[in-house]
Amino acid sequence: MPKTKVLTGEELVNHYGLIRLRVKGSGNLRLTLYSFDKLQSNILNPLVMNDLTSIEPTLLSNFTQQRAKLQITTTNSGEVFQISKVIIFIKPVAKSYPM
């Protein structure tokens, strides 16, 4: 079986490609990825929620940073949601930024 090299460390530059979540609720869900100190952001397409669903929606993100913070909000007041699972697909693309 071939050995794969696993890159670890805080300096890695990662590509945040997809976000998959299990969500129930009513209304629209807005997801945003932020970099350190919110210098850069990536607003994802709004997700229309449903109380009865058999799928886990997957959203494309295409965001490259060392670290990212995911903010999840609703678009209007009175909308509710329940999230039971969040999976973020991340791939290391560089060991560090050029100096």
pLDDT in tens, the chain (99 residues): 556 666 666 788 999 999 999 999 999 999 999 998 899 999 999 999 988 888 899 999 999 999 999 999 998 888 889 999 999 999 999 988 777
- Domain span at residue 65? 13-76
Q: How far is Cα 34 from Cα 41, in angstroms, rounded to an integer? A: 4
Domain presence at residue 41: yes
Domain presence at residue 95: no
Domain presence at residue 32: yes
Looking at the 3D structure of the chain, how many domains does it have? Answer: 1
Q: What φ, ψ does residue 52 adopt, rounded to 5°? A: -115, 110
Q: How far is Cα 70 from Cα 35, in angstroms, rounded to an integer? A: 9
Domain presence at residue 85: no
The token pair at 65 is 């940073």
Domain presence at residue 8: no
CB 80 within 8 A of CB 96: no
Domain presence at residue 33: yes
Q: What angle do CA 87, 68, 99 make, to 5 degrees?
A: 135
pLDDT value, residue 53: 83
Domain presence at residue 50: yes
Q: How far is Cα 47 from Cα 28, in angstroms, rounded to an integer? A: 5
Considering only CA atoms, which of 30, 75, 85, 77 is closest in space to residue 53?
85
